[in-house]
Chains A and B, each alone.
Chain A
Amino acid sequence: MTGIDSSDPLIVRIAADDVIVVIGEIDLAGGSILEAAVAEHESERPVVLDLEAVAFVDSSGLRSLLGMRRRASERGTLVVLRNPSAEVLRLLEITGTGDQFSIESGSESDAE
């Protein structure tokens, strides 16, 4: 995890099994922070983002997620959105971009 700056809108933590836990707001500023953190952990494995604690997301944040999805696709893998918050789900629905990601709800991820 990179150092936490109190002015950052987003905190990114790497949890067990390389799950990337995202806490805060994915906007223009937060999206850049998230992209940089994910880029440090890119591999052939799926990128798993735990979005349960995302309190806000806008289209600039969504573009960051879509960029991660594109890069993952180029590596032959995918991006998993685990436990997306209501805010995330709503934006995916509004923009019709939900099918770009693999989405795991709480019960699915708990079962693994």
Chain B
Amino acid sequence: MNFLDQIWLIPLFPLLGALLMLLFGKMLDPQPVSEVAIAPGVEPVSEHGGTGFSRSESHHHHPHSPLKFLINLICPGMVLLSFIFSVGAVWQLSGLPHRVHQIIQFTWIAGLPFHMANGQLATFTVDWGFLLDPLSSVMILVVTGIGFLIHVYSIGYMAHDNGYYRFFGYMNLFVFFMLMLVLANNYGLLFVGWEGVGLCSYLLIGFYFHKKSACDAGKKAFVVNRVGDAGFVLGMLLMLSVLGTLRFTDVNAILRSGRFPAETAGFGVLSAIALLMFFGATGKSAQIPLYVWLPDAMEGPTPVSALIHAATMVTAGVYMVARSSALFTLTPSTSTVVASIGAFTAILAATIALVQNDIKRVLAYSTVSQLGYMFLALGVGAYWVAIFHLFTHAFFKALLFLGSGSVIHAMGGEQDMRRMGGLKNKIPITHWTMLVASIAIAGIPGLAGFFSKDEILWQTYSSPQGSTLLWFIGLATAGLTAFYMWRLMSMTFYGQSRVAPEVERHIHESPASMTVPLTALAIGSVLAGWLGTPRAWTIFSDAWRGFPNWLAPVFSSAAVEAVKEGEHAASTEWILMGLSVAIAIIGISLAHYFYCVRTEIPDRLHARLKPLHMLLYNKWYVDELYDFLFVNGLGKGGGRVLGEFDRTIVDGGVNGAGWLTRAASRISMWWDTWIIDGAVRFGSFSVKMLSYPVCILQTGRVQAYAFFIVVGALAFLGYYIAR
């Protein structure tokens, strides 16, 4: 079977699943009417509204639908089908000489002629086409593979929730849009997926729509994303106006042909395009200044956080910038902006994660921080490393989220780590898998996170576009990451149990549908990194380094290896590697010391450094700042100014015009009544007056008429006789 020509089927399977679920799902899983009605008031312990004993009491109200297994079959099954097709297509792609396969199904937007910026006439066409190359192949494998595992996990996690079919319908819809995003062969179609995943994100964040905080979080995510999307659309239009095409292959061909010189000094039109597109990426991938929506997005069910807000959707911005690598290579100043924002986001989010108490919030800020790493890599021109980190991060961050979901499940909806502790032996599989993910993200050698993170740090240090300052920020972030991850592990699994006694009785390991995906992801978290071992590990030949070799054809040769090997000795790399491992171990040890050995230290530190703690705990007051500046400042204050403007200037104009019209109409009315109507009425009046004598004769009596006839006849007769 030729999978390469069937890649259009890959996104179609989940779409089919989504349509089936959203159109007919209600028949498969009829919902009790009462629960939706009572939900707003009764949302007691269950923060995530999901599982646990608050729900288990209502089990008997929720009749087990006999057809529910069909949902379990269809939705993960569709994603599995996509995964199988993806694997087949990628396998066949590896056999092609250039490793590029493009199919164009039809023209989606056809032939609008327009003048480009240079005056040349061009036509605006957008294909409905799919491009499979090493970059998109990595993405589809991540999306379908990890997506499938998370779907399986959701079967267990969402089992007792209302709107089971709705959840799976949205999840499948999300997978469809995400696959459209990564398989599109042009920016226009990419944008379709881009908006679609935003929509699904909104729908799933607000899945527990009876909770106000969930609705607000959904709206916030939607609005903040739209801000970024505005930048993306503008960038796309500018690109269309300058290059005349949106198709990736054509764009790259033009940019690499040398028609546009690199904008090494100054700020040209390419920089504008790149900056606008990057602004779009900051919205989707939660970077400064638009990262604020992602922590709030944790209001959604945990599998959603794992799939959308950790593994796949938030990496769309990274994918898009990597896809535009030719553009960013030509604009070094923009790349510097990308790298700086990435590094700054990484460390800012990591500092916030240090003091959060909600287990999912820690992970959310961790995600923001890791995405910052990816942008740091993109900014220094190490595109494959960014994708590599995206790839490994997808495993261990999805695992962390699913693990935290398993913890929350066991705790009956409790998300506050201050009320956990000592769970190690009660939920052993969850503990072991999360332990793997934690040391993977912390950067302990041998696990996935070490390879990708270390490669980022090395490239940041050695690339001509990198700098020691950026490297240092990255290194500090690595230390912070290790610290807050181990803090999370310690507060959750080790030390004294702080669990409320009535919760403690209910703690149980999750069902197999949840633990099997956890285990699979744990294996991935260990192994995924070995595809890109450091250059300095000369024991592995270059051929062993599968990941960079695989991605090499996508990124222009300059970008693949920003480092010229001669410039930096391997010894430097070893030293840096040692440093990053050391700081990871220091972070872990410190966290262990603080939260397991001398548990009074954190409280003392809080007391001593109260302002700093408050600052971090309240997330640098960025939400408040945005509220002050944009929501209240620009939004409400601007609204007031605009309202005043409306009332005085706009309404004044309208009212003035109205007054003038009324005055004019009054004159016109006078003229009409007295002159025009007067003339008409005078005419009719005079006719009436003239006709009055005649009217008198017309009595209506037949005999009178007869009398006139006789008189007339006699008159004639008399006249003839008298003549």
A, B from the same assembly? no
Residues of A that sit less than 8 Å from B by CB? none
User: Interface on B for A, CB 8 Å cutoff?
Assistant: none
